[in-house]
Structure 1
Amino acid sequence: MDRDGGNWLTGLGFGMLTCNSVLAIYRSKEDAWSVAFVVSAYFALLFLFWCLRLYERTAPNVAQRWKLKVAIWSLSTFLTAIFSYKVAKLMPRPVDLIVWGMAVSVICGGFYAFFIHHDHQ
């Protein structure tokens, strides 16, 4: 995709994310924990996409790239944990354990892929 086409599409995506977040906050304005969930997820996603963009633009052997990897993995872990918590809370106990098991496997897999596995290109 060309850069100009990507820019409006990215803006549309962030606009929809913002609109959905505002609507979710409005619908759950009586529940402070739900509002905190939506706000924290929204800002974590924004920061994650910003870090990913910086990571893509940073040269491979720059020290800042390591810090960006840590930030990306941390934000991904945070988002995985809070979404898993919300889903697991609605499920019966056996399914709850499966949800948390999948979350842990994703978090550990991301850690392995980012910090242990070295891609030899």
Structure 2
Amino acid sequence: MAIAQSSPKEEQHQQCGGDGGGWVFQAITMLAATAVTAQAAYRARRAPWDLAFVLFAYADLGLLFLCLSMYERLPPPLEEVQEGDSGDGAAVRRRRSWLKMAAWALSTALSVAFAWRVAAVMPAPALKAAVWGMTSTVAVAGLYLLFVYRPVAIPSYSEMDTCKRKQSSPKLDQMI
């Protein structure tokens, strides 16, 4: 009889609270969002633009949760990126990039939709400009942080794990 043994990385992941009940939290969150959306859609049933906004926000949020969930399930990034790698590492990197782009696009679309609604009720043009300015700043900052900014080199991604925080290097402590 064979006994299944897990790797030290899997054991640490389980000790740190991984795979414990994340799907339960996601399911409860989506049920709550569905209930709120149904109530808002019922109230907006006679105003087509309001109903479109409610349904768009719900669909966008659902897709954003899906992208983030898929991104979290990807394996951790490799320490070194090799040129011309056409194996699984390249596929994971491509999937990671596509999911980051999708998450940024969905979150930006949601921000723009809310800014559009908020700016519509602002009494002064300066307040409308402030709403659009803040939304633009968030969108551009997200684009920069996700795709342009490269953090200081870390000796190992495993040192970033919060469960190993006490064992991490002094250089990592300075960064955090």
Q: TM-score if structure 1 supplies the norm length?
A: 0.92
Structure having the higher helix fraction is 1
| Structure 1 residue 3 displacement after superposition | 3.6
**d(CA) in 1 for partners of 2:18 and 2:98?**
29
Partner of 2:146: 114
Give the unaligned 5+ runs of structure 1: none
Find the aligned partners of 1:15 and 1:9 in 2 and give their Cα distance.
Answer: 10
How many residues align? The count is 121
Is residue 126 of structure 2 the alignment partner of residue 94 of structure 1? yes
Point out the structure with max Rg over C-alpha. Answer: 2
CA–CA distance in structure 2, aligned partners of residues 11 and 56 of structure 1:
16
Tell me the residue number matched to 2:64. 48
1:19 shift after superposition: 0.4
Q: C-alpha root-mean-square deviation of aligned residues, in Å?
A: 1.4
**How far is 1:4 from its partner?**
4.0
Provide the residue aligned with 1:70 in structure 2: 101
Partner amino acid, structure 2, of 1:13: T
**Residues 63-105 of structure 1: per-residue CA shift (max 9 Å, x gap):** 1111111101100110010001101111121111111000000
Structure 1 range deviating more: 56-65 or 78-87: 56-65
Structure 1's 29 and 74: CA in aligned 2 closer, same or farther, altered over 3 A? Answer: same
- Runs of 4+ that moved beyond 2 A: 1-10
Give the one of 9, 18, 22 matched to 1:6.
22
Distance of 2:97 and 2:21 partners within structure 1: 30
- Taking structure 1 as reference, are residues 67 and 2 closer, same or farther at Cα in structure 2, changes over 3 Å only? closer
1:16-57 deviations in Å (ceiling 9; x for gaps): 100000011100101111111111110110110110111111
SS in 1 for 2:45: coil
Percent identity over the alignment is 36
* Residue of structure 2 equivalent to 1:30: 46
Query: Aligned partners of 1:58 and 1:2: how far apart in 2?
Result: 14
Who is 2:173 aligned against?
Answer: none
TM (normalized to structure 2)? 0.65
